[in-house]
Structure 1
Amino acid sequence: MLIDLSNRVAVITGAGRGIGRDLVIRLANEGVTTVALDVNSADLDSLGAELSALGATSSQFVCDVTDLARIEEVVAEIVERHGRIDVLINNAGVTATGPIDTLPEAAWRLAHDVNLTGTFLMCKAVIPTMKAQASGRIINASSFAAIVPSVAHAAYASSKAAVAHFTRALAGELGPWNITANAYAPGMVPTTLNHFTERPQAEQDVLLNTLTLRRWGSTDDIGNLVVFLSSDQASYITGTLIDVSGGKLATQVPRVAYDMAEAGDDAII
């Protein structure tokens, strides 16, 4: 199956580093005209230089996804430059940690403002363009925490669960215009937010033992799904939350299968 995304225009938020940055580069390599949004101008400058070296058609805008006026200004410029927006990837996100009874209200509000309200505002600004062209793909970053939250991560988990439900409502409203809306739930992908691979090996082993496919996820794993959801091949998929976690907690104790396989007990597996 050949996925052809050439000549499409994609807007990616939180694109300065981490998963967002890798998604921009992946889409650029697929022939997509990318528009990267981030609050950090230095990261965007670095990204722009990297994309220029690749010969990619791209642009970068400093934009806070909680600022509707700025978002609308950027979207208007994108449409003026390119005439369309085919894909919106709401990747921008922040985390907030701490027990609920001691979590600062400001941390709670920031997590929801960026993760949830930012997704809403970006959709609100882009939808009129997608409706006018009667096509579009909206892809929202949720999290495995939306399915099973972690202790001391209530703000992050609740905001990402809300993103998943918002995506379903979004899909329902946009179907008449041939616009799909889907969310994805990454599992344990090492980033600058979680520092998974920087933890002591014993801690890493505990986390890896929760995976059916016992390895850290990669941005390529996320990129493969995003490319597919952006394509015509995914035209009949909408309103979903797709788990990209390597089978995290698919069974109660995934490590057991590895112990059995190591012991050569294939008949039982």
Structure 2
Amino acid sequence: MRIDLRGRVAVVTGAGRGIGRDVVTTLAGEGVRTVACDVTAGDLRSLGTDLASSGTENLQFECDVRDEAAVRETVRAAHGRLGRIDILINNAGVVDDATIEHLSESTWDLVQDVNVKGTFLMCKAVIPYMKAQRAGRIINAASFAAISPRVAGVAYASSKAAVAHLTRGLAGELGPWGITVNAYAPGMIPTEMNHFAELPEDQQQRLLETLTLRRWGTTGDIANLICFLASDRASYITGALIDVSGGKLATQIPAEAYDLAGDA
């Protein structure tokens, strides 16, 4: 089975670093014309340099996904330059690290605005172009926290649960135009946002013991899933929330299997 995305146009938010950056470079490697959006100009310049030898067209836009006018203009400019928009990946996101009792209103608002409002505004901006094509792929970053929240992360978890429901609702609305809408729920993938790989060794081990596949995930694991969801091979998948957590919910106590395997 060959996934062929050559010539398609993908808009990716939060593209300057981490998962978003790997998604852009992976798509470019598949022949996709990419539109990278981020709030950090330096990261976008660095990404543009990395993509210079990719052999595909690539654009970078400094854009705050909370700003409807900026989002609308970015999408309009991208469509004007590249002629179509086939794929939207809503990757931009921020986290919180406080219990509700100590969570500030400003942090709550920031997390909801970037993670939920930003996803809503980007979807709203691309939908007319995708409807005109009668085809499109919208892929939203949820999180494993949307399934099972962590302590001192309720703002983030609630925002990602909202993204999961937004995904399902939008999938229903856009089905008549052949547009699919799906979300992915990453688990423990070390990035500059979560710093998993920088934790003390004992804390890392405690986290890994909660997984069926006892290893950190990689940004490439997400990028590969996105390539599939963006392709014609996934044309009958819509409204889904795909768990990419290394089997965190596969069994109640994943460590039991490792204990048994050790006795084999």
Which TM-score tier does this pair reach, normalised by the shorter chain?
over 0.9
TM-score after normalising by structure 1: 0.97
1:188 aligns with 2:202: no
Deviation at 1:250, TM superposition (A): 1.7
Map 1:79-90 onto structure 2 (within 5 A).
Answer: 79-90=79-90
Query: What do the CA deviations read for 1:93-151 (whole angstroms, capped 9, x no partner)?
Result: 00011010110000000000000000000000000000011000000000000000000
**Partner residue of 1:163?**
163
SS of 1:80's equivalent? helix
Amino acid at match of 2:122: M
Deviation at 1:56, TM superposition (A): 3.0
Of 15-24 and 216-225, deviating more is 216-225
SS of 1:53's equivalent? coil
Q: 1: CA distance between counterparts of 2:230 and 2:259?
A: 39
**Partner residue of 2:197?**
197
Identity of aligned residues (%): 66
**Partner residue of 1:5?**
5
Q: Which runs of structure 1 show a deviation greater than 6 angstroms over 4 or more consecutive aligned residues?
A: none
Amino acid at match of 2:16: G
SS of 2:100's equivalent? coil
1:36 aligns with 2:4: no
SS of 1:137's equivalent? strand
Amino acid at match of 2:137: R
Deviation at 1:223, TM superposition (A): 1.1
Amino acid at match of 2:100: I
Amino acid at match of 1:151: V
SS of 1:193's equivalent? coil
SS of 1:247's equivalent? coil
1:123 aligns with 2:110: no
**Partner residue of 1:267?**
none
TM-score after normalising by structure 2: 0.99
Deviation at 1:83, TM superposition (A): 1.2
Q: 1: CA distance between counterparts of 2:171 and 2:242?
A: 14
Of 254-263 and 28-37, deviating more is 254-263
Deviation at 1:191, TM superposition (A): 0.3
Deviation at 1:54, TM superposition (A): 2.7
Q: 1: CA distance between counterparts of 2:228 and 2:32?
A: 13
Amino acid at match of 1:53: S
**Partner residue of 1:112?**
112
SS of 2:101's equivalent? coil
Deviation at 1:53, TM superposition (A): 2.8
- Gaps of at least 5 residues in structure 1 are 265-269
Amino acid at match of 1:208: L
**Partner residue of 2:100?**
100
Amino acid at match of 1:196: F
Q: 2: CA distance between counterparts of 1:55 and 1:238?
A: 31
SS of 2:122's equivalent? helix
**Partner residue of 1:173?**
173
Query: What do the CA deviations read for 1:201-225 (whole angstroms, capped 9, x no partner)?
Result: 1001100000001100011111111
Amino acid at match of 1:117: K
**Partner residue of 1:206?**
206
Q: 2: CA distance between counterparts of 1:257 and 1:173?
A: 42
Of 6-15 and 255-264, deviating more is 255-264
**Partner residue of 1:226?**
226
SS of 1:140's equivalent? strand
Amino acid at match of 1:69: A
**Partner residue of 2:25?**
25
Q: 2: CA distance between counterparts of 1:55 and 1:201?
A: 41
Deviation at 1:82, TM superposition (A): 1.2
Deviation at 1:55, TM superposition (A): 2.9
SS of 1:138's equivalent? strand
Q: 1: CA distance between counterparts of 2:120 and 2:99?
A: 27
- Gaps of at least 5 residues in structure 2 are none
Amino acid at match of 1:57: E
**Partner residue of 2:148?**
148
**Partner residue of 1:248?**
248
